Structure 1
């Protein structure tokens, strides 16, 4: 898994009803800036959107240390997914899977 600094600028919610199943759907996407270091280009800033897992839909704008993993999309492609977000400079992660605090 990979960890990178992610600045969330805004979370946008989209939803509707599936034409195929008739069931409601909802997606929350974060408009963000991703900072990464590469050997070839040094520090890079990437601007775009990334879908948030349901557990992170309430994330507020700000700086985070984002942990990414790969998941299979509905059409079979491997895509990066956020696994956890930690406020930048904090020490404890917000888990995206059903992990309970003891």
Structure 2
């Protein structure tokens, strides 16, 4: 059963912004996710953190949305950092071949 994605945005000391995602980052959620990223980048923070600790599932649409979010941040002059990835999410991104393009450290 799919778990609807919820997104919470808040600021950090130093002007960074954090988006905390919870649930499934799948086809049904990607549009909402990218709108949230767009809002978080206005005005552009120095760094936009995506806290993915509570993401329970990601499909190819979700992987594509993470890549698109990285590109949105670059166009806005911000840096996108993925944080608190589960082992399953790390493996999925490695298998999809996007680990390097998302700026994740080597394992």
TM normalised by structure 2 equals 0.29
Greater fraction helix? 2
The structure that has the greater radius of gyration is 1
Q: Which has the higher strand share?
A: 1
